[in-house]
Amino acid sequence: MSVYERRLASDKDEIRRRIRDVGERVNQAIGDSVEALLRQDEPTCSRVILGDPPINREIRAIEKLCHVFVARHLPSAGHLRFVSSALRMGVALERVGDYATSIAREGVQLTTAPPDRIAEEVRQLCGHACFMLSSALTAFSQKDEELARTTRPKTREVEGVYARAFNDLLGCGVPSADLFALVAVFHRLGRVSDQAQNLCEATLFELTGEGKPSRTYDMLFVDPRGTLVAPLAVALARKSFHRSGSYTAAGFQAGAVLAPELHALADGLSLDVSGIVPTPLDASPEALQAYDIIVCLSPEARRHIPRIPFNTVVLVWSVPTLAGATEAELSTRLQNVVRFLSSEIHHLMVMLRGEDAS
């Protein structure tokens, strides 16, 4: 190895080590802030708050090292991706440090200790988030592509804990001021896992050149019977946007079999209805939190969803009615429904995924 190559490798190792070190400090700050909040330990909350400026200074110093690295080595390809990833990691870690400070400040403001059940869920959420962050930092420092890939999707696990804890918090009877504080804490811990996911994506970009993957969406279409309009929406979404998400149909008074009109439409429009069966709507928050978007295909369908999960969006579409249509009118009305659904699905997916959604 030449002198230049040794210098380049040494400079990269220093940046990588310092990112790992400051990441560990940030991770410790999250854990300390949560424990201090739950114990109402004001001195520790203050220590976490005062520890944030040194973390920020270290991140600024790492950014300066990255700029010096570019000026000194004029990097290309993998070395340039490394610098880009390191800078992105600095941004993510600074934000996590801010989350720790915010949690500590909320801890100072709490009037009473959280109920035991809520405290346990806060610890569980913190444990998941800190484990993700630690794994993401290890993947970067050890250049472990597989660890980055397996850590990245664990955000879903954190989201499940977050949704359950949020629902429990709303019914636990804490004072209103503390309720808002604890909601903020849950939100910050959820964001820690998002930033850990960003670290994994930065690592994969450095090691493989992969960009951040476009998000896919889990979508539920709901109508009264789940035999015609909702399955039709699923089939249309599958045909035009099969890479953009997964689609499910349900009915709040589910029928036994798919409507014969659906099969006729599928044949005429080359739609795939395989695997679609009338499914009763499970409106429990635990079931609905699996979906990013729920589309109610009638106002009545919306009334059968009493509580919207925190991370779920519910839409109501005014689908052209088929009720009262004569046999001669039914075909025209079905074509109107197809045009309406196709237009609304296209508009929604372009909004979510951009003009190149597919």
330 band by pLDDT with thresholds 50, 70 and 90: confident
**Bigger pLDDT: 165 or 195?**
195
Report whether pLDDT(160) > 90. Answer: no
CB neighbour list of residue 38: distance below 8 Å, 6 or more residues apart: 107, 113, 114, 119, 122, 123
What is the tens place of the pLDDT at every residue in 253-309?
A: 999 999 999 988 889 899 999 889 999 999 998 899 899 999 999 999 999 999 888
CA distance 121 to 119: 5
Neighbours of 282 (CB within 10 A): 11
What is the tens place of the pLDDT at every residue in 77-113?
A: 889 999 999 999 999 999 999 999 999 999 999 988 8
Mind listing the domains of the chain with CATH numbers? 3-208 (1.20.58.220), 217-353 (3.40.50.2300)
57 band by pLDDT with thresholds 50, 70 and 90: very high
Closest CA relative to residue 190, chosen from 126, 105, 136: 126
Report whether pLDDT(327) > 80. Answer: no
**Could you give the dihedral angle defined by the CA atoms of residues 273, 275, 278 and 284, in that order, rounded to the nearest 10 degrees?**
-120
**Bigger pLDDT: 115 or 199?**
199
What is the residue-averaged pLDDT of the chain? 91
What is the tens place of the pLDDT at every residue in 194-243?
A: 999 999 999 999 999 888 778 899 999 999 999 999 999 999 999 999 99
pLDDT of residue 66: 94
Residue 277: left (phi > 0), alpha (psi -120 to 50), or beta? beta
**Bigger pLDDT: 9 or 327?**
9
Residue 299 vs residues 126, 259, 358: alpha-carbon distances, Å: 39, 21, 29
CA distance 187 to 168: 14
Q: What is the largest CA-CA distance in the chain?
A: 85
76 band by pLDDT with thresholds 50, 70 and 90: confident
- Pairing, β 313-316 against β 245-251: unpaired
pLDDT of residue 302: 94
What is the tens place of the pLDDT at every residue in 12-44?
A: 999 999 999 999 999 999 999 999 999 999 999
